Structure 1
């Protein structure tokens, strides 16, 4: 039996949330109502979601030794996640982000910084960290380390999910080891230079032999291609307060669905429900729900359909 259900390797960040009545026009100014320090980050938040859903979870990454790093570590410890291979880098500031949240829409604008002293090297990844899990979740940063981790997982028959939102140098060496690619809507188009999102997903899936190639569509849900067939899951309509962390929580829900052995449509719907519920509270992890709440939302909520995708499918 595996020691962990899911191991995540990648980013964490400590966010400063600045809440404004509405985002000003370019070069304008306006008041803000609240300033909140809140833990977040792609893989770290996905792992918190997995832990919330009852999975045995481990996080591997680096944190600074400043106040933001302390906040991040305390948050992860409070989530019951194994942190045996989290490194605290001395004299290094933690990754941080300033996130402007528009109260009128719930949308956010992000400015982030990650010091180079937080970089994870391939030499710091070894087989023992990976082979004890049922699933590996990574992001696109520190690409050589991600390549090594994904290769180890493939050698041990462990499925790999990846969260990627932009093109990273050398990422083509990671993709052959990926089983589930869940990208931003921009990534497949930028990677393939194909403006048609359906064709872009097909091209990237066929080129690298990826089992499931998917893209998130923000307020319109998720599109995925599996075994030559497209699956579309419209977003759930909720009272959106803050979209920060919605994608990260989606990935945590996706990991849960894969490990549960669900069909891809149910995995997508559940992940969308988890993401939607997180948007009903402030912060990257403010509204992480349990399984029952997500299933209840799936049963009752309205959906926001992207007409063009629906028509083509």
Structure 2
């Protein structure tokens, strides 16, 4: 079973801070860590570590970061045939500060990611048509995302969208997405609904359904996930873990859900599996360096007595 991820590859520059700076304030941080990241690459690598067969479609620059990003995916069994090296821009960068409670602040410079075009996607229609599922985010041009969704929909390929960073999305696009994975901030940006508890989360999810979304998985951090479809809502609690850094936890959740759902078509089990993958990721520093293996996720599920349908 093959999965195609279309999206960003960034080198993450990560520092730890005691407190995030206020406007005009300077604070001291730890030494800088250089960690492969980018939402697309994170999700592709996470799918591979969880046992899936996955291809990465994206662009990196012709620089040391670009080579490192591509090589890191390749050594972890991600197919990088369609991860192109582009001479026009440097590789994407993400500047990440991590606070003492594991929360983060992220600024992304897209670089070569901004050059992944609708024409690139059209040239790979046959690759997309053969996939079991297509996973997308919004760190590449929106026109490219829209073309990928159109092609996947045309060939009845399942579409999974992580709407980050949040931006205005058309009903035409949303209606072709099988599952959307916003976090609280992204859901608020998309709907205008402020989320501060489960009831307001349900209000935001209902708004997303009104906007054309078919199925919503609203990520609530440590509080778990709210699933919404038509007039049905169900809250899946998270796992209690010691949080170190939440970077890529949402990406691990997305990867875990996509892989488990496509393998078994079993919703509750897929969400529980995804929650475990996201929780484990938050216990370690960095993006791709923190992603769990299939064995680690199964061990956590067994430890917490969470039963899911898995091979």
If the length of structure 2 is used for normalisation, what is the TM-score?
0.88
**1:239 is paired with a residue of what secondary structure?**
coil
Question: Can you list the C-alpha shifts for 1:177-224, whole angstroms capped at 9, x where unaligned?
Answer: 1001111223334333345331331232244251x2121112221111
Query: For structure 1, which segment, 217-226 or 110-119, has the greater mean C-alpha deviation from structure 2 after superposition?
Result: 110-119
CA contact (8 A) 1:13 1:96 kept: yes
CA contact (8 A) 1:237 1:301 kept: no
Question: Offset at 1:93?
Answer: 0.8
CA distance in 1: counterparts of 2:212 and 2:204, whole angstroms = 13
CA contact (8 A) 2:168 2:190 kept: no
CA distance in 2: counterparts of 1:60 and 1:168, whole angstroms = 22
- 2:80 alignment partner in structure 1: 83
Question: Offset at 1:9?
Answer: 0.4
CA contact (8 A) 2:9 2:113 kept: no
The reply on whether 1:246 has 2:244 as its aligned counterpart is no
CA contact (8 A) 1:165 1:186 kept: no
CA distance in 1: counterparts of 2:65 and 2:56, whole angstroms = 17
CA distance in 2: counterparts of 1:247 and 1:16, whole angstroms = 18
**2:175 is paired with a residue of what secondary structure?**
helix
Question: Offset at 1:27?
Answer: 4.0
If the length of structure 1 is used for normalisation, what is the TM-score?
0.87
- 2:218 alignment partner in structure 1: 215
CA distance in 2: counterparts of 1:229 and 1:241, whole angstroms = 34
Within-5 A mapping of 1:163-178: 163-169=162-168, 171-178=170-177
- 2:141 alignment partner in structure 1: 142
CA contact (8 A) 1:236 1:302 kept: no
**1:236 is paired with a residue of what secondary structure?**
coil
Question: Can you list the C-alpha shifts for 1:115-148, whole angstroms capped at 9, x where unaligned?
Answer: 3773221111122120111011011231111112
- 1:186 alignment partner in structure 2: 185
Within-5 A mapping of 1:224-243: 224-226=227-229, 228-243=231-246
Identify if the C-alpha distance between structure 1 residues 171 and 44 changes in structure 2 by more than 3 Å, giving closer, same or farther: farther
Is the strand fraction higher in 1 or 2? 1
Q: Any gaps of 5 or more consecutive residues in structure 1?
A: 304-313
The alignment covers a number of residue pairs equal to 298
The reply on whether 1:16 has 2:13 as its aligned counterpart is yes
Q: Give the alignment's Cα RMSD to 1 decimal.
A: 2.3
CA distance in 1: counterparts of 2:117 and 2:43, whole angstroms = 22
The reply on whether 1:277 has 2:274 as its aligned counterpart is no
Query: For structure 1, which segment, 294-303 or 147-156, has the greater mean C-alpha deviation from structure 2 after superposition?
Result: 294-303
Identify if the C-alpha distance between structure 1 residues 33 and 115 changes in structure 2 by more than 3 Å, giving closer, same or farther: closer
CA contact (8 A) 1:222 1:232 kept: yes
Query: For structure 1, which segment, 18-27 or 60-69, has the greater mean C-alpha deviation from structure 2 after superposition?
Result: 18-27
- 1:124 alignment partner in structure 2: 120
Identify if the C-alpha distance between structure 1 residues 117 and 226 changes in structure 2 by more than 3 Å, giving closer, same or farther: closer
Question: Offset at 1:40?
Answer: 0.5
CA distance in 1: counterparts of 2:96 and 2:264, whole angstroms = 35
Question: Can you list the C-alpha shifts for 1:49-68, whole angstroms capped at 9, x where unaligned?
Answer: 11111211001011111222
